[in-house]
Amino acid sequence: EVQLVESGGGLVKPGGSLRLSCTAYGFALSSHSVNWVRQAPGRALEWVASISQSGSFIDYADTMKGRFTVSRNNAESAAFLQMNSLRAEDSAVYYCARLLMVRDKENYYYYHMDVWGKGTPVTVSS
Amino acid sequence: EIVLTQTPGTLSLSPGESATLSCWASQSFNRNLLNWYQHRPGQAPRLLIYGASNRAADIPDRFRGSGSGTDFTLTISRLEPEDFAVYYCQQHDSPPYSFGQGTKLEIK
């Protein structure tokens, strides 16, 4: 079965750090970019970061730049989100998602997140 | 930065009725990069529509996406009980790959 499984969430104090993992099963994660998305309690989905297949291209949401670092290990079929200097407003469920690129017969490209993990909760509180 | 605005914030309807959800972008972008997701409480988000109008695998034809430029629409016909959830549009044209704030579809 094709699936993504996140782990590493938990309770951390403000200013602390956590490292989230996203492990792929049933497919080769190396063939896909990976996105991290979060949802704070009562809030909308929020895109966090993206890492390309090789790890050469990385983007972050502005509020995460300088605090969060995304990486991957294709040999382990895993991606990671290192979160430092955590704040209360970083409390959320964090999801990883596979980015699927599709090219149609007219050579149009489509990018969308077609496989998602169930998420791992992060709580930042003293 | 592309900002997506969804309307309405909440939509109250009964099973069997049809729902129309809107997503407005702050600037025009490639419609191939506009996606819709369904999110039920406690579950992973689920891809419904990619490229503005293409249904994802196993998505029933009651779900239809349309639009281009800055205006996009998700229409759900003949609402089933399992359709009551939160729906998000999302763009993958340029980072940050933003989501709209969501439309909550609730049972009337």
With H, G, I as helix, E, B as strand and everything else as coil, classify residue B81. helix
Q: Are B107 and B14 in contact (CB under 8 A)?
A: yes
Encode pLDDT of A57-100 as tens digits: 999 999 999 999 999 999 999 999 999 999 999 999 999 999 99
The per-residue pLDDT for A108 is 86
Q: Which positions 64-123 of A are in contact with B (Cβ < 8 Å)? A: 95, 97, 99, 102, 108-114, 116-119
Encode pLDDT of B8-58 as tens digits: 999 999 999 999 999 999 999 998 999 999 999 999 999 999 999 999 999
In whole angstroms, give the CA distance from residue B76 to residue B74: 7
In whole angstroms, give the CA distance from residue A64 to residue A53: 21
With H, G, I as helix, E, B as strand and everything else as coil, classify residue A50. strand
Strands B103-107 and B10-13: parallel
- Subunit contact A112:B56, Cβ cutoff 8 A: yes
- Subunit contact B99:A44, Cβ cutoff 8 A: yes
Q: Which residues pair with A102 in a beta bridge?
A: A110
As a whole-number percent, the residues of chain A with pLDDT over 90 amount to 96
In whole angstroms, give the CA distance from residue A52 to residue A49: 10
Which residues in A lie closer than 8 A to residue B54 (C-beta atoms)? 110
Q: Hey, what's the torsion of the CAs at A7, B46, A115, A122, to 10 degrees?
A: -20
In whole angstroms, give the CA distance from residue B76 to residue B78: 7
